[in-house]
């Protein structure tokens, strides 16, 4: 492969003439745009410990009233995208949001899709398109593109949740905007699963809120399902559930994908190397996440991210308790764009359990 010409090899007056004409030579940038063999992700492996983040979030609660924030959020910033980065990966935004007792985060809607993974506290709720969704630890609540949403809190202690949005992508596409709204009239509750297992709304089913019949996925149900699946799957197999849209059987949202994953006591799992970046949030237990050469030790409520094209191994360090992860990734986007790739690593094409270390 030839070394290509550099910008500084070109005469200064020629470069100035190009700039005046609104032109740029391709060859100095060609290798950065199309690196050999695989991408060079800006996304860095990162770990955000809840223990470190929580006091700063609580401090935001005293420094900034909700009226001055609308959404009181500390963004989990990946430094690979530069100082002040507002993203965790190319397509994923992560933020920890705090709502204090009695506070209200007013109704709005926007083009990016959001989900909330509840981390701490009782008594808060999100109203999505008129459906009141109570928030309990580990619950996943969707606010798909264009749906009205607002948050309230009738409890007595702070409530914290992890927001996951496809904002970096939608903003890059120059498609990101919001509209403020009035307080919503509540005309339903999404306090339980819409349908039992094996049933789904028939084609043509429409509720206000349209193509998303299920907005709240209670953790209590997902946890029971993971434990039951773990009983039935071989001891070394991955125990993983995908959050799906029951109307389509496809991913719960269009751009980002969401899973719940259980590691048995002592289990180690090598994930296939894939093109999308992924985020791992530990709902329960203690675990180790190895991203390439970097090892993170996760406590409950910790979050980390892994760039695409990078080997990831998960390990449950406890000998007697399962560990439960919430996983968010960019796979629906890569699938739709025809960019999805899975590469074999020795011993891992589908999730593979390694011998205990």
Closest separation in Å from C-beta 236 to ligand 1HN: 39
Residues in contact with ligand 1HN by the rule CB under 6 A: 71, 73, 95, 97, 105, 110, 114, 149, 151, 163, 165, 167
* CB 157 to ligand 1HN: min, Å: 19
Q: Shortest approach of ligand 1HN to residue 168 CB, angstroms?
A: 10
Is the C-alpha dihedral spanning 252, 96, 125, 175 positive or negative? negative
Pick the closer one to ligand 1HN by CB: 114 or 287: 114
CB-nearer residue toward ligand 1HN: 158 or 322: 158
Shortest Cβ 51–ligand 1HN spacing (Å): 22
Smallest gap, in angstroms, from Cβ of residue 126 to ligand 1HN? 8
CA dist 46 and 165 (Å) reads 17
| Nearer Cβ to ligand 1HN (226/256) | 256
Q: Cβ contacts of residue 347 below 8 Å, gap of 6+?
A: 270, 354
Count of residues making up the chain = 357
Where do the H-state alpha helices sit in the chain?
A: 12-20, 30-33, 50-63, 167-172, 219-232, 331-337
Show the tokens assigned to 233. Answer: 């799957």
For residues 114 and 298, which CB has a smaller minimum distance to ligand 1HN in the complex?
114
Find the shortest distance in angstroms from Cβ 102 to ligand 1HN: 17
Residue number, 135 or 165, with CB nearest to ligand 1HN = 165
Our CB check for ligand 1HN shows the closer of 96 and 327 to be 96
Residue 285 near residue 276 (C-beta atoms within 8 A): no
CB contact set of 188 (below 8 Å; sequence gap of 6+): 130, 131, 132, 207
Q: What angle do CA 354, 355, 357 make, to 5 degrees?
A: 105
Contacts of 148 (CB under 8 A, 6+ apart): 107, 108, 109, 127, 128, 129, 130, 181, 184
**Residue with smaller CB distance to ligand 1HN, 66 or 261:** 66
Per residue, what are the HEC states of 80-103? Answer: HHCCCCCCCCCCCEEEEEEECCCC
Shortest Cβ distance from residue 73 to ligand 1HN (Å)? 5
């Amino acid at each position: 492969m030839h070394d290509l010409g550099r910008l500084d090899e070109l005469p200064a007056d020629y470069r100035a003439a190009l700039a005046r004409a609104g032109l740029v030579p391709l060859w100095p940038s060609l290798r950065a745009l199309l690196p050999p063999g695989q991408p060079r992700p800006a996304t860095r492996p990162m770990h955000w410990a809840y223990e470190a983040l929580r006091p700063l979030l609580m401090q935001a609660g005293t420094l900034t009233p909700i009226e001055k924030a609308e959404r009181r959020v500390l963004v989990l910033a990946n430094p690979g995208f530069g100082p002040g980065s507002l993203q965790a990966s190319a397509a994923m935004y992560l933020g920890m949001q705090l709502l204090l007792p009695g506070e209200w985060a007013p109704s709005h809607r926007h083009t990016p899709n959001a989900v909330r993974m509840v981390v701490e506290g009782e008594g808060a709720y999100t109203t999505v398109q008129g459906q009141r969704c109570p928030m309990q630890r580990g619950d996943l609540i969707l606010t798909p593109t264009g749906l009205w949403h607002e948050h309230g809190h009738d409890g007595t202690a702070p409530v914290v949740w992890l927001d996951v949005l496809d904002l970096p992508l939608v903003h890059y596409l120059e498609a990101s905007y919001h509209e403020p709204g009035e307080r919503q009239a509540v005309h339903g509750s999404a306090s339980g699963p819409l349908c039992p297992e094996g049933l789904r709304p028939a084609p043509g089913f429409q509720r206000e809120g349209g193509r998303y019949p299920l907005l709240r996925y209670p953790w209590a149900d997902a946890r029971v399902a993971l434990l039951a699946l773990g009983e039935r799957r071989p001891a070394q197999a991955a125990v993983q559930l995908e959050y799906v849209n029951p109307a389509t059987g496809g991913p719960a949202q269009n751009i980002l994908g969401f899973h719940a994953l259980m590691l048995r006591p002592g289990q180690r799992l090598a994930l296939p190397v894939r093109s999308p970046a992924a985020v791992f949030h530990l709902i329960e237990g203690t675990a180790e996440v190895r991203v390439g050469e970097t090892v993170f030790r996760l406590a409950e409520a910790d979050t980390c991210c892994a760039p695409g094209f990078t080997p990831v191994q998960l390990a449950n360090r406890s000998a007697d308790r399962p560990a439960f992860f919430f996983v968010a990734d960019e796979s629906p986007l890569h699938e739709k764009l025809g960019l999805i790739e899975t590469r074999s690593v020795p011993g891992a094409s589908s999730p593979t359990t390694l011998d205990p270390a």
